[in-house]
Chains A and B, each alone.
Chain A
Amino acid sequence: MSPAVLSLTALRKSVPGGRVLFAGLNLEVAPGEIVAIMGESGVGKSTLLNLIAGLDQADSGGVAIDGVALESLDDDGRTRMRRDRIGFVFQAFHILPHLTLAQNVALPLVLQNLNAAEATSRAMTILDSIGLPGRAGDRPSQLSGGELQRVALARALVHRPALVLADEPTGNLDPETAARILALFVAEVRGSGAAAILVTHSERAAAVADRSLNLTRDGLVHAG
């Protein structure tokens, strides 16, 4: 078995008020594996994603990506880890309104200091493949929600991350669009060979994952 893309060890996190969100949380995600994480509102699903992305820090325990412990990195190191190894898809899309679609998608590449021409060309390729051919120069305001989430998916994958973190990617979409986006998500992630963590409320969404886990106070337990 190849080494885990992500491994969480005895993770414990509490909110500023002192309430413990979870403790003793362990998880190993293999390359190419899609893991769905479910749970009730407020249980800390987004917080867990922030911990994995190095955007927040656990009380104790360890987060390792490609075998590198995030605790051993400073903020710059964690930032570079996100930039190089992680892709993000958000519920609210977070597509920058004053950039073109290609520029939005190319952002992770230019942040890696790839030159603008190369970055936009790669962005256009991936925009074609996710069903937005010829729209590279459009502005986000001309797009529907589903289209915006396609752009977000392209942005998450454009720099060939090892791990994609998706936080309720279909939460803002109508059921029909949500299904289409979910299928696209699975297909594209699998196509890229990346592993993915998919945080969702939706059973249907969870069903597409290789593994489906429930987040509780005591950690992750197999769902269903």
Chain B
Amino acid sequence: MAPAFKLASLALLTWLLTAAAPGKPVLPVFPEVRAGQPLTFPADHGSHPDYRTEWWYVTGWLKTEDGRDLGFQVTFFRSRLSVDQRNPSAFAPKQILFAHAGLSDPKVGKLLHDGRMARQGLGLAEAATTDADIVIDDWRLKGGADGRFVAKAAGADFTLDLAFTPSQPVLLQGDRGFSRKGPLPAQASHYYSLPHLRVSGSVLQGRRRVKVTGEAWLDHEWSSTLLDPKAVGWDWVGLNLDDGGALTAFRVRDADGNALWAGGSLRAQDGATVPLGPKDVTFTTERIWRSPRTGGRYPVQRELIVRTPGGERRWRLTPLFDDQELDSRRTGGPVYWEGAVRAPGARGYLELTGYVSPLKM
């Protein structure tokens, strides 16, 4: 569920929209996520414009030709606004698309990131419903007939030009893709992942373009109501295990740091999947990194304890480097930590939100 908080950036935009047009405004009706709705592909790779929020979230580790490790994330969001549906203008801000991309390079020592944002329409910003195909200007995430995905994101400091080839079937999170996020049944999302994506492509840094290979993880999630009102943030991790397994774990925290909800899944290489509930996931803190810029105190090194029917398993998570904080406040988003982490026998991404100020949805 990791990227869900990204919508908090839209939380700053109070779309409390009342119509100025004559007559009563016609506001959109946001459908609820329900259990038991089967997901079909490639259509469910595509956009679900009726729902309030949706994202496609790719994270992963890259290895350059000269053997260096890099972390990356490419994320596309869609948000349906509560505006008067009668406005026939092609510019009517019924859907907003935006995207973030980040590059974690130990040589730089801090996260490089950039973003795009536009209202959907006129071909400049579109999200297809038939397959994954989200475009914002020159940024794109597109699924192909061969099952591969390609992503392109050109920022001020770097350009990612990557292709992702699935090596495993789709991992449906929660109950066949219905993933609870809070104590109430409505606090849920449709959520599936594609772990162990094989990555090929290139990274342009400055004037230098390097070929890269690696392994990535794609999350795709959509929902209309996500978080409990008491929630202030969450921790999320997705790990590609060296044995071919895939671990997803998250917990939603309240103001006291206690878990309001937790969950995830552990899929073995043979496809056997163990869904994880609120009692199955525990995060401990081993080291806190304090951001010199924001003063945020992030538990960047921690132990993840997962209870499975086969017994308790532990992963000690160590960041690629400490300073992977992403401060998107100047573009209206939140401050959070989004970083490449490794554990013995695993590599993946850790997301820590709500550590500087509570996330609002």
Q: Do the two chains touch directly in the complex (Cβ atoms below 8 Å apart)?
A: no
Measured CB to CB, the residues of B under 8 A from A are none
